[in-house]
Amino acid sequence: MTGHGSNGHGNSKRGRVTLRDVAEAAGTSRSTASRALAGNGYVADSIKARIQEAADRLGYVPDVSARTLKGQSSGLVGLLVSDLRNQFYAQLAAGVEQTLAAAGQQLVLVDDHGSEDQAAAGARAFLSMRAAGVLLAPVGKAATQALVDRGMPVVEVDRRSGVRGCDSVTIDSELGAREAVGHLLARGHRRIAMITDETAWDTGQARLKGYRAAHREAGVPVSRRLVLTLGLRPADPIGDVSAFLDQNPDVTAVFAANNVVGEAVWQELKRRGQRVPADCSLVCFDDMTWMRMVEPGVTAVRQPVYDMGVRAAEMLLKRATGIGGRPAAEVLQPELVERGSTLAVPQR
């Protein structure tokens, strides 16, 4: 269907068809061929057609390396995420990819697995390939700083490292947490556990802040023992949750600070035969597929993750082309999706 099959050779040396080959085939110079294919500068229509035809016939594909070397953009945009296996980052990447593809740019994806070293390596790679810009979910300041220092356009996504000079697109974590916990408080819950897996990142901090703010607003004191921090990449999250619930049998509701924790909490509640929400209510930050599949559905703070990817990519593209003014910080709003996992506090 493609045409000539495997016989489309015509280049003198080995393998690649270069602009020179096209020019020779069309009987012109490389300069003219370049102008004809790029579409700028003067080229007679008849010659332009001949060159185009030759390019098609030979199967000419321009070499980005050469183009990039000459000073153009590489057409590559880097994206650094912390765990592609997590649906959150996958959605983010999907939004980014979609936007970049529409603009004719390619997505280079690096997973740092939460390690600053890996992030630094990724940043170096992006620099090395002359990426048009970089989107990153920061795991520390080093990578962002290195990129910004070298004048690379950077947009931070989901989290912020605090480095000056880069744009950001985030979701209002504090607001989301406040609404989620406020929702529980309004239903009479007074001993609400918050379980989180990291507090090093600003998202974790903000969610904790929201948890506290909701309590303050409701005039309910928050007890330190009700906040469980598992740490990033916990070895046995379910076991930890289990131990925590053993020690705090009085909690009537759990606020899980992200989807990974939420999964562990849900499984542990099921394992110990607790009914949700009759025995314990549950709200998760970050709405996942499974939360609407289970019975009852899990009340969750929905984050516009895909859109965040889209917006971040758009912002980066603008920054990469135009000169752009001061760093922009866009904050998207989360939305509380009420399902069946939250009930008024059980009377006992």
Which residues would be at the binding site for its own copies (CB under 8 A)? 1-2, 5-6, 8, 15, 59, 61-66, 68-69, 74-76, 83-85, 87, 90-91, 93-94, 97-98, 101, 106-111, 118, 124-125, 127-130, 141-142, 145-146, 149-151, 263, 266-267, 270, 288-290, 293-295, 306
Ramachandran region, residue 346 (left: φ > 0; alpha: ψ -120 to 50; beta: rest): beta
User: Is residue 54 within the footprint of DNA (CB under 7 A)?
Assistant: no
Amino acid at 170: T
User: Is residue 341 within the footprint of DNA (CB under 7 A)?
Assistant: no
User: Is residue 49 within the footprint of DNA (CB under 7 A)?
Assistant: no
Of DNA, its own copies, none, which one does residue 142 interact with (CB within 5 to 8 Å by kind)? Answer: its own copies
Non-local (6+) Cβ contacts of 316 within 8 A are 77, 132, 133, 134, 135, 153, 155, 167
Based on the number of CB atoms within 10 Å of its own CB, is 16 exposed (0-12), middle (13-18) or buried (19 or more)?
A: exposed
Among 18, 82, 170, 258, binds DNA (CB under 7 A): 18
Token pair 């002359």 is found at 130
For 54-94, give the DSSP string: HHHHHT----HHHHHHTTS--SEEEEEES-TTSHHHHHHHH
Of its own copies, DNA, none, which one does residue 91 interact with (CB within 5 to 8 Å by kind)? Answer: its own copies
Of DNA, its own copies, none, which one does residue 88 interact with (CB within 5 to 8 Å by kind)? Answer: none
CB 301 within 8 A of CB 177: yes
Site for DNA in 61-90 (CB under 7 A): 62-63, 65-67, 69-72
Of its own copies, DNA, none, which one does residue 90 interact with (CB within 5 to 8 Å by kind)? Answer: its own copies
Of its own copies, DNA, none, which one does residue 286 interact with (CB within 5 to 8 Å by kind)? Answer: none
CA 97 to CA 89: how far, in whole Å? 12
Q: How far is the CB of 31 from DNA (least distance, A)?
A: 4
Q: How far is the CB of 32 from DNA (least distance, A)?
A: 3
Of DNA, its own copies, none, which one does residue 41 interact with (CB within 5 to 8 Å by kind)? Answer: DNA
CB 292 within 8 A of CB 338: no
Q: Rounded to the nearest 10 degrees, what angle do helices 30-38 and 45-58 cross at?
A: 90
User: Is residue 239 within the footprint of DNA (CB under 7 A)?
Assistant: no
Q: Rounded to the nearest 10 degrees, what angle do helices 305-321 and 87-102 cross at?
A: 40
Question: Angle 4-5-10 (CA atoms, 0-180°, nearest 5)?
Answer: 65
Chain residues binding DNA by CB under 7 A are 13, 16, 18-20, 27-32, 34-35, 37-38, 40-45, 47, 60, 62-63, 65-67, 69-72
